[in-house]
């Protein structure tokens, strides 16, 4: 029984998986969201003309591009913060349950 508990505790770190950088997560989510939006737009009206693509370094890019980017990333950031709060709460609950389990084993 003790060996099984030790092996579970040792393997617990591997179950958590690798840490993910929140910025990488936001970028991947935004890229996927934009890709889906393009697919949906293409299916409704055909391929978009090349001049409508917004490039940050192009001279024709408007200054409101930063505001649009902020408007797009704001919901993503809010969702990320909510998920981080939920994750930390679940982590604390997991730690408390593990400590309680260890106390029960010691008794």
| Amino acid 46: pLDDT | 52
Residues 31-47: what's their mean pLDDT?
Answer: 74
Provide the greatest CA pair distance for the chain: 72
First to last CA, the chain: 14
Q: Quote the CA–CA distance of 71 and 101 in Å, as a whole number.
A: 46
Confidence check: pLDDT of 97 > 90: yes
CB 72 within 8 A of CB 30: yes
Most confident option among 16-30, 43-57, 61-75: 16-30
Q: Measure Cα distances from 107 to 36, 70, 101 in Å.
A: 55, 55, 10
Confidence check: pLDDT of 79 > 70: yes
Q: Which residue has the tokens 């092996």?
A: 7
């Amino acid at each position: 029984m003790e060996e099984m508990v030790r092996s579970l505790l040792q393997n617990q770190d591997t179950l958590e998986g690798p840490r993910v950088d929140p910025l990488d997560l936001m970028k991947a989510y935004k890229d996927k969201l934009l890709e889906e939006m393009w697919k949906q737009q293409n299916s409704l009206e055909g391929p978009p003309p090349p001049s409508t693509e917004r490039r940050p370094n192009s001279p024709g890019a408007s200054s409101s591009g930063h505001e649009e980017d902020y408007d797009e990333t704001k919901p993503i950031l809010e969702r990320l913060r909510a998920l981080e709060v939920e994750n930390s709460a679940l982590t604390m609950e997991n730690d408390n349950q593990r400590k309680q389990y260890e106390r029960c084993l010691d008794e």
